[in-house]
């Protein structure tokens, strides 16, 4: 069974501001591009995303530098 998310928060990438509700359960990418994800330990990883993709990631931030994806929503199971 696929994961079900019942709460989403739009997020504008930032090099300093973490997600307001803590670690994500997933990230929805509405507009294709590159997503620079920061994990809890500070590690950054680049993801090439298609429009409408959901990444099941426990992350704390999406960096603005080098991120080109748009319409980003942070998804949670609450």
35 in a structural domain: yes
Kindly report, residue by residue over 19-50, the tens digit of the pLDDT: 999 999 999 999 999 999 999 999 999 999 99
Q: Copy the structure tokens of residue 51.
A: 């429009």
12 in a structural domain: yes
1 in a structural domain: no
- Answer whether 38's CB lies under 8 Å from 61's CB: yes
pTM of the entire predicted model: 0.93
Which residues does 57 contact at the CB level (< 8 Å), separation at least 6?
A: 24, 26, 27, 37, 39
Q: Which domain holds residue 53?
A: 7-76
> How many domains would you assign to the chain?
1
Beta bridge partners of 34: 48
Instruction: Give residue 2's pLDDT.
Output: 65
67 in a structural domain: yes
CATH number at residue 44: 2.60.120
45 in a structural domain: yes
């Amino acid at each position: 069974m696929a994961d079900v998310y019942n709460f989403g928060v739009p997020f504008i990438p930032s090099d300093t501001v973490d997600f307001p509700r803590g670690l994500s359960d997933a990230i929805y990418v509405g507009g294709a591009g590159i997503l620079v994800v920061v994990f809890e330990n500070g590690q950054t990883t680049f993801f090439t995303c298609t429009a409408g993709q959901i990444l099941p990631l426990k992350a704390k931030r999406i960096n603005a530098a080098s991120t080109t994806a748009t319409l980003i929503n942070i998804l949670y199971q609450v």
